[in-house]
Amino acid sequence: MPIRETSFGKARRLFTQHQGMLRTGEAIRLGIHPRTLYALRDSGEIERVSRGFYRLSAKPALTNPDLVTVALRAPRAVICLISALAHHGLTKEVPHTVDVALPSHAQIPRLGGIPLRVFWYSEPSFSTGVQPVSIDGVTVRIYSPEKSIADCFKYRNKVGLDVAVQALRMYRERAKRADLRLIETFARVDRVEKVMRPYLEAVL
């Protein structure tokens, strides 16, 4: 006679099958009773990542909880500018906020405690150059290195021209396959081709 799985055992198994993290609504749809979910939370077996999201406490600590929370709570947002440069290793700046791009007229997400700096991008700039990456098992939408550099020149009055130029130089020095033509493509999308041209010529 097979041994019946306990409600706690089922919950642990389902969390494990979903990379250790579940949204509350998803957990309930999978058959985890709210009482079981909160009992696991109260016992410390699962921990709250952000409102409505829980993960197994035994999993390794999140390497970038802010980016993970943005991805979970604001799935349309794209990590941009200095936050994107920091992820790609193209800046010496220490991000004090999470820079996110949203489509024009989108509402600012409420993420509770995460300092956001929001930029509204129009099309096609918003949808171009998005590079999904996996961080702590969560898919995070982030602009590619080349798009991030072009964006920094576009928003040079916000991030500083020196930051944009530094990112371009670091990209040229560090990238194994530096693709300046791709940067030019994104510069055209962002309408900063003329602004960037002398800086691109300087690093050739």
Average of per-residue pLDDT across 19-36: 85
Taking the whole predicted model, whether its pTM rises above 0.85 is answered as no
68-81 per-position pLDDT tens digit = 888 888 889 999 99
Distance between CA atoms of residues 91 and 164, nearest Å: 9
CATH for 65-203 is 3.30.460
Q: Is the pLDDT of residue 148 over 70?
A: yes
Beta-carbon count within 10 A of 189 CB:
19
Distance between CA atoms of residues 104 and 177, nearest Å: 33
150-190 per-position pLDDT tens digit = 999 999 999 999 999 999 999 998 866 778 899 999 999 99
Residue 97's nearest CA partner among 21, 202, 108 is: 108
Question: Where are any strands of DSSP class E within the chain?
Answer: 21-23, 46-50, 53-56, 78-79, 98-103, 116-121, 130-135, 138-143
